């Protein structure tokens, strides 16, 4: 069964007909070609697929595209400046807050949400926020450093 | 080998070049790729641990609209050959890419469907009808050592793949002369490092050439290409395998069976197909680190000097027909850890069970070997009334004894193990932590301090398999690389080792920049792997910590060949002896006369386009390939000694934990690592490896376990019940470094990737044990879950 859905993705109006069982993550990746959003577990634990819906983090693997009618969705592509990188992204790179890079877009979305709410988070607040997402490579130490560095800018 | 002329880039903590695309979500991972006309694959998997397939009907599934092809085990057996094992069983067993008439673990693939999208393929899988005859499952590896298990392969006559006792030195005399013997039994669980990106592949068949093209995140393409060619019955020249960005590997990202399934489906459908594991498939059927039971007997003198070691090691392989007993061999290579133990006996059991196949996983075997030894050493210190650090210091291989060959044939090339531990104790504030522990204890809090130290080898010497098979099929450890000055003068490097998060685009550029007088920004490292353009060997791949011991040699060797050619071309052009020239800033320049030179761009134009301008006899083109094998690899000797791995780094971990007696929860309050991986090529990457590997060790210690029920059902099939450490579980790991360069690697580097995954579980276990010892608890098994702690405290 298919239905029409209209939403804003990274500020652009999107008007599509989708299978009602299509997840938001598949919709973003396959229908819109926004492959920066990664899928790591498809059961809402790992956080790799995190996007912002109305400014709040959400697991795109647990949402159906049709639920987003009228919503504003922001992905890693929308958080990346047209030229270069955001200061948060720069901090991830400088602090070695990534290795394989698969969790990174989701981590940056979560960190972006944290910094939008809390200008100067403590290390504990950073860890609390990042604990929503799994990273298998870094042991989180350098990700925490990266978020702290970005907050200090 | 060590005549490296520093250009100053190697050794610098440069942020990842590839980081710029990865932080923007611009990596190119397998699932980001979609060739035209692509079909998607779903697999039917066994719901039983052990069962016969009495009937399999795919007709309804095949008729579902959108389904393009269906493949059963019988189809696979007709269209392909069995997967060739790395370590063959005594009686050859036919192991096809899909189960043929019997399944042997929950999650084993039985049939596969290719359809227009994954959802349709999954719908079709549900329409496949199977009649099963469940069989008793073999789940207890120790039962098989007593001949009491249901047989997985009746033709094999036993579930035991390898049983042997290897003796080095006079073990009986050592035990007879000992003042005491410490005997313990330890267990380790099945766990896995679970890369965040699951395994997948895209396969395409070209009927015009009868060739196959694969794109896959397989981390060991050299071996996989050999398996694919044999199983498909196609010359390797008609296969192409590419790796894109790989989202983590840790050893377990290798499933040749899935590539074969996809190849056969693509051939049937006449269209490219893609398969990507979902997380449940991944946890159920990726290679688990083998579980097992180890009996340790440690003979000692009253002053704590170790005299002998006897180990009986039973490895629960699951249905591992690819590399059974590999865990045993790796443990044998690491059995002495950092200690002088003159006499060693190792009784190996490698046992098949009705569980997920075991296989390489960060540290393979070494975490358990280290756990057994480091628990034993800690318990021995307690028995002797010695500080656990002191007992270790009394037994280390001394720096003066380097290079030191262990009784089993491992060569510890360099390092100062006592200095590593002392540095860790100092950084940890060991005496202060002991006082803190005493104060807390008086206040009723359960604090514990754990010390664990380890050696960490790099590179696998495949000759070690001969101990089991009696014949040599492959040997040594090697890698290949290419360095090319492109026609426009820009430099590009390709390597047979596809990275999965190790930052090769940066560190390889640093190495080549030093050799060619460039900056890393000026050196492009080709992403991933492509068998049609990347130089590679059967041994090529991203495994076994081998970058430091083989890849660096290949890169340096290729770069020096290009450098020599640039100098020859420059000398001809400038009419000056090559010895008076140097490479600097993208040009061949006259030493001491910086304004006189000729740029790479000009020389490249000559080499590729204006070839009449080449020196007489000089070949056109400006690229070189080089393969490097590590010199420490040796064949098995008459005493059955063999270095199963090469070049040893070392580390000391200290941690402070608090145990909550009410909940059984364990919290890590402080964690210090001091490690020595020789020369650090990029300290930022190295530190990240230490953090990440230590987090894996912490996960294995406290959280992670693939738990099977009595019928062989896997109970932990999501990240809600197979628990990974989060940012709240991993502490702010403090890292200190020593650098004793290896004399046996081109740049002095040693392995660092497995790192904390080896001693991490031991350090945490020793700390928990230290917190609870006065309550009568001895930690003998992992993981240390709240449930386990609560049971231990309750005396159950």
Could you say which of A74, A99, A114 is where a domain stops?
A74
The model's confidence at residue B796, banded by pLDDT at 50, 70 and 90, is confident
User: How far apart are the C-alpha atoms of B716 and B708, rounded to whole Å?
Assistant: 8
| B36 CB within 8 Å of a chain A CB | no
User: Which tokens go with A125?
Assistant: 């607040």
Pair B115, B293: CB distance under 8 Å: no
| B5 CB within 8 Å of a chain A CB | no
**Same domain for A63 and A8:** yes
Q: Which pLDDT score is estimated for B195?
A: 98
Give the CATH H-level superfamily of domain B37-135+199-276: Aldehyde oxidase/xanthine dehydrogenase, a/b hammerhead (3.90.1170.50)
What number is the average pLDDT over the span B251-263? 97
Q: Which pLDDT score is estimated for B6?
A: 46
Is A45 within the bounds of a domain?
yes
- Residues in chain A with CB shorter than 8 Å from the CB of B22 are 98, 100-101, 104
Q: Quick check: B197 and A85 CB within 8 A?
A: no
Give percent of chain B with pLDDT exceeding 90.
98
Query: Where along chain B do its domains lie?
Result: 37-135+199-276, 367-457+648-793, 478-629
Of all residues in chain A, the one with the smallest CA distance to B720 is A45
- Residues in chain A with CB shorter than 8 Å from the CB of B670 are none
User: How far apart are the C-alpha atoms of A87 and A146, rounded to whole Å?
Assistant: 10
**Same domain for A68 and A11:** yes
User: How far apart are the C-alpha atoms of B79 and B425, rounded to whole Å?
Assistant: 60
Q: Quick check: B24 and A36 CB within 8 A?
A: yes
What number is the average pLDDT over the span B625-645? 94
Could you say which of A50, A74, A98 is where a domain stops?
A74
For residue B288, list its beta bridge partners.
B358
* Residues comprising chain A, all counted: 153
Classified by CATH at the fold level, domain B478-629 comes out as Aldehyde Oxidoreductase; domain 4 (3.30.365)
Q: Which pLDDT score is estimated for B274?
A: 98
| B736 CB within 8 Å of a chain A CB | no
User: How far apart are the C-alpha atoms of B234 and B227, rounded to whole Å?
Assistant: 10
**Worst-scoring range by mean pLDDT, B137-146, B341-350, B460-469, B497-506?**
B460-469
The model's confidence at residue B1, banded by pLDDT at 50, 70 and 90, is very low
pLDDT tens, residue order, chain A (153 aa): 999 999 999 999 999 999 999 999 999 999 999 999 999 999 999 999 999 999 999 999 999 999 999 999 999 999 999 999 999 999 999 999 999 999 999 999 999 999 999 999 999 999 999 999 999 999 999 999 999 999 998
User: How far apart are the C-alpha atoms of A62 and B265, rounded to whole Å?
Assistant: 30
The model's confidence at residue B7, banded by pLDDT at 50, 70 and 90, is confident
Q: How far is A148 from chain B (nearest CA, A)?
A: 13
Q: Which of A60, A95, A101, A112 to mutate to test the interface with B (most CBs of B within 10 A)?
A: A101
Helix crossing, B786-793 with B760-772: angle to 10°?
30
Question: Per-residue pLDDT tens for B361-394?
Answer: 999 999 999 999 999 999 999 999 999 999 999 9
Q: Quick check: B195 and A38 CB within 8 A?
A: no
Q: Which pLDDT score is estimated for B4?
A: 39
- Residues in chain A with CB shorter than 8 Å from the CB of B24 are 36, 76-77, 80, 85, 89
Q: Chains A, B: CB contacts under 8 A, how many? A: 171
Is A82 within the bounds of a domain?
no
Q: How far is A70 from chain B (nearest CA, A)?
A: 25
What number is the average pLDDT over the span B299-311? 98
User: Which tokens go with B794?
Assistant: 């309750």
What number is the average pLDDT over the span B44-60? 98
For B324, the 3-state DSSP assignment is coil
The CATH number of the domain where A121 resides is what? Answer: 1.10.150.120
Q: How far is A69 from chain B (nearest CA, A)?
A: 22
The model's pTM is 0.97
Question: Per-residue pLDDT tens for B540-552?
Answer: 999 999 999 999 9
**Do the first three CATH levels of B367-457+648-793 and B478-629 match, i.e. the same topology?**
yes
Domain that holds residue A127: 87-151
What number is the average pLDDT over the span B558-564? 98
Is A61 within the bounds of a domain?
yes
Q: Quick check: B728 and A105 CB within 8 A?
A: no
- Residues in chain B with CB shorter than 8 Å from the CB of A46 are 196, 279, 719
Q: What share of chain A is helix, strand, coil (3-state, %, to 5)?
A: 35, 20, 45
DSSP, residue by residue, A57-86: EEETTTSBGGGGTT-EEE-TTTTS-SSS--
Q: Which pLDDT score is estimated for B125?
A: 98
Indicate the residue of B34, B193, B501 with minimum beta-carbon distance to A99: B501
Is A80 within the bounds of a domain?
no
The model's confidence at residue B594, banded by pLDDT at 50, 70 and 90, is confident
User: Which tokens go with B193?
Assistant: 């490092």
Q: Which pLDDT score is estimated for B2?
A: 37
Is A79 within the bounds of a domain?
no
Question: Per-residue pLDDT tens for A68-108?
Answer: 999 999 999 999 999 999 999 999 999 999 999 999 999 99
Q: Quick check: A100 and B195 CB within 8 A?
A: yes
Q: Quick check: B16 and A96 CB within 8 A?
A: yes
Indicate the residue of A100, A126, A142 with minimum beta-carbon distance to B501: A100
Question: Per-residue pLDDT tens for B179-197?
Answer: 999 999 999 999 999 999 9
Could you say which of A74, A102, A131 is where a domain stops?
A74
Give percent of chain B with pLDDT exceeding 70.
99
The CATH number of the domain where A44 resides is what? Answer: 3.10.20.30
Enumerate residues 498 to 517 of chain B having a beta carbon within 8 A of any beta carbon in chain A: 500-503
Distances (CA, A) of B445 to B378, B438, B645, B777, B785: 22, 9, 43, 16, 19
- Residues in chain B with CB shorter than 8 Å from the CB of A148 are none
Domain total of chain A: 2
Indicate the residue of A36, A123, A138 with minimum beta-carbon distance to B688: A138
**Same domain for A147 and A104:** yes
Q: How far is A130 from chain B (nearest CA, A)?
A: 6
The domain B367-457+648-793 is placed in CATH, from the list 3.40.50.300, 3.30.365.10, 3.20.20.10, 3.40.190.10, at: 3.30.365.10
Indicate the residue of B32, B194, B733 with minimum beta-carbon distance to A35: B32
Number of other residues whose CB lies within 10 A of the CB of residue B561: 17
Measured over the CA atoms of residue A27, residue A30, residue A31 and residue A34, the dihedral's sign is: positive
**Same domain for A92 and A32:** no
Q: How far is A74 from chain B (nearest CA, A)?
A: 13
- Long-range contacts, B88-93 (Cβ 8 Å, 24+): B88/B469, B89/B153, B89/B156, B89/B161, B89/B321, B89/B324, B90/B156, B90/B161, B91/B153, B91/B155, B91/B156, B91/B157, B93/B153, B93/B155, B93/B156, B93/B321
- Residues in chain B with CB shorter than 8 Å from the CB of A123 are 732
Q: Which of B35, B196, B249, B700 to mutate to test the interface with A (most CBs of A within 10 A)?
A: B196
User: Which tokens go with B285?
Assistant: 């059927």
**Same domain for A146 and A112:** yes
What number is the average pLDDT over the span B441-456? 98
Pair B672, B428: CB distance under 8 Å: yes
| B668 CB within 8 Å of a chain A CB | no
Q: Which of A27, A99, A150 to mutate to test the interface with B (most CBs of B within 10 A)?
A: A99
The closest alpha carbon to B263, from B79, B56, B33, belongs to B79
For all residues of chain B together, what is the average pLDDT?
A: 97
Q: Quick check: A141 and B20 CB within 8 A?
A: no
Q: The sheet that has B478-485: what strands, in order across it?
A: B523-525, B491-495, B478-485, B623-629
Q: Quick check: B730 and A140 CB within 8 A?
A: yes
What number is the average pLDDT over the span B572-593? 96
């Amino acid at each position: 069964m298919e239905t029409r859905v209209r939403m804003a993705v990274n500020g652009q109006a999107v008007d599509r007909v989708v299978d009602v069982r299509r997840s938001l993550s598949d919709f973003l990746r396959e229908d819109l070609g926004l492959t920066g959003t990664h899928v790591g577990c498809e059961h809402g634990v790992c956080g790799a697929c995190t996007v912002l819906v109305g400014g709040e983090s959400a697991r795109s693997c647990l949402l159906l595209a049709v639920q987003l009618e009228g919503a504003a969705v922001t992905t890693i592509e929308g958080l990346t400046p047209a030229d270069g990188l955001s200061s948060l992204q720069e901090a991830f790179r400088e602090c070695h807050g990534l290795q394989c890079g698969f969790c990174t877009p989701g981590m940056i979305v979560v960190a972006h949400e944290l910094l939008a709410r809390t200008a100067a988070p403590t290390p504990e607040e950073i860890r609390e926020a990042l604990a929503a997402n799994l990273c298998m490579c870094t042991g989180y130490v350098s990700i925490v450093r990266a978020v702290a560095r970005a907050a200090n800018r | 080998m060590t005549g490296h002329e520093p250009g100053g880039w190697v050794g610098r903590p440069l942020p990842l070049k590839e980081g710029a695309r990865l932080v923007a979500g611009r990596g190119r991972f397998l699932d980001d790729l979609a060739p035209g006309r692509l079909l998607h694959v779903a697999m039917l998997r066994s719901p039983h641990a052990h069962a016969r397939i009495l009937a399999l009907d795919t007709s309804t599934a095949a008729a579902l609209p959108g389904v393009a092809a269906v493949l059963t085990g019988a189809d696979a057996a007709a269209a392909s050959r069995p997967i060739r094992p790395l370590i063959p069983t005594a009686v050859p067993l036919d192991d096809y890419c899909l189960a043929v008439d019997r399944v042997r673990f929950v999650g084993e693939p039985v049939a596969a469907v290719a359809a227009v999208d994954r959802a349709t393929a999954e719908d079709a899988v549900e329409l496949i009808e199977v009649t099963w005859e469940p069989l008793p499952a073999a789940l207890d590896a120790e039962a098989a050592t007593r001949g009491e298990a249901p047989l997985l392969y009746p033709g094999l006559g036993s579930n035991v793949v390898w049983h042997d006792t290897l003796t080095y030195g006079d073990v009986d005399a050592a035990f007879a002369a000992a003042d005491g013997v410490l005997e313990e039994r330890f267990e380790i669980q099945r766990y896995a490092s679970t890369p965040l990106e699951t395994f997948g592949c895209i396969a395409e068949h070209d009927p015009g050439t009868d060739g196959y093209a694969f794109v896959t995140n397989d981390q060991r393409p050299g071996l996989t290409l050999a398996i694919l060619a044999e199983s498909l019955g196609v010359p390797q020249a008609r296969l192409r395998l590419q790796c894109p960005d790989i989202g983590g590997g840790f050893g377990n990202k290798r499933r040749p069976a899935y590539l074969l399934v996809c190849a056969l489906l693509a051939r049937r459908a006449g269209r490219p197909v893609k398969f990507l594991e979902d997380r449940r498939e991944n946890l159920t059927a990726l290679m688990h680190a083998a579980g097992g039971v180890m009996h340790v007997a440690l003979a000692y003198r009253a002053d704590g000097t170790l005299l002998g070691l006897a180990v009986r090691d039973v490895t629960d392989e699951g249905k591992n027909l690819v590399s059974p007993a590999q865990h045993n061999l790796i443990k044998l290579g690491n059995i002495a850890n950092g200690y002088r133990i003159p006499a060693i006996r190792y009784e190996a059991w490698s046992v098949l069970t009705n569980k997920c196949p075991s296989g390489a996983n960060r540290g393979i075997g070494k975490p358990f070997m280290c756990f057994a030894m480091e628990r034993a050493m800690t318990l021995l210190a307690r028995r002797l009334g010695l500080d656990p650090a002191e007992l270790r210091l009394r037994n280390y291989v001394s720096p003066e004894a380097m290079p030191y060959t262990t009784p089993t044939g491992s060569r510890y090339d360099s390092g100062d193990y006592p200095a590593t531990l002392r540095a860790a104790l100092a950084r940890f504030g060991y005496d202060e932590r002991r006082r803190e522990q005493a104060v807390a204890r008086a206040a009723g809090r359960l604090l514990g301090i754990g010390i664990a130290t380890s050696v960490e080898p790099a590179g696998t010497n495949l000759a070690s398999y001969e101990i089991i098979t009696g014949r040599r099929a492959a040997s040594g450890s090697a890698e290949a690389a290419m360095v090319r000055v492109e026609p426009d003068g820009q430099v590009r490097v390709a390597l047979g080792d596809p990275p999965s998060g190790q930052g090769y685009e940066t560190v390889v550029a640093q190495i080549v920049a030093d050799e060619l007088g460039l900056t890393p920004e000026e050196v492009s490292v080709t992403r991933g792997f492509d068998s049609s353009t990347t130089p590679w060997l059967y041994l090529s791949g991203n495994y076994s910590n081998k970058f430091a011991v083989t890849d660096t040699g290949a890169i340096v060797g290729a770069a020096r060949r290009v450098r020599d050619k640039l100098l020859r071309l420059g000398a001809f052009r400038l009419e000056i002896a090559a010895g008076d020239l140097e490479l600097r800033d993208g040009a061949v320049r006259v030493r001491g006369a910086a304004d006189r030179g000729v740029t790479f761009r000009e020389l490249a134009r000559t080499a590729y386009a204006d070839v009449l301008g080449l020196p007489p006899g000089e070949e056109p083109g400006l690229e070189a390939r080089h393969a490097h094998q590590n010199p420490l690899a040796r064949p098995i000797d008459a005493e059955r000694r063999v270095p199963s791995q090469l070049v040893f780094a070392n580390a000391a971990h200290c941690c402070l934990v608090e145990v909550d007696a009410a909940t059984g929860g364990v919290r890590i309050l402080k964690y210090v690592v001091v490690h020595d991986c020789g020369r650090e090529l990029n300290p930022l990457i190295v530190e990240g490896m230490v953090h990440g590997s230590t987090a894996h060790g912490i996960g294995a210690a406290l959280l992670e376990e693939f738990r099977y029920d009595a019928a062989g059902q896997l109970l932990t099939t999501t990240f809600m019940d197979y628990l990974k450490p989060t940012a709240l579980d991993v502490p702010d790991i403090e890292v200190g470094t020593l650098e004793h360069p290896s004399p046996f690697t081109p740049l002095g580097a040693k392995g660092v990737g497995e790192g904390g995954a080896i001693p991490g579980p031991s350090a945490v276990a020793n700390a928990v044990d230290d917190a609870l010892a006065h309550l009568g608890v001895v930690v003998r098994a992992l993981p240390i879950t709240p449930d386990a702690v609560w049971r231990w405290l309750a005396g159950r």
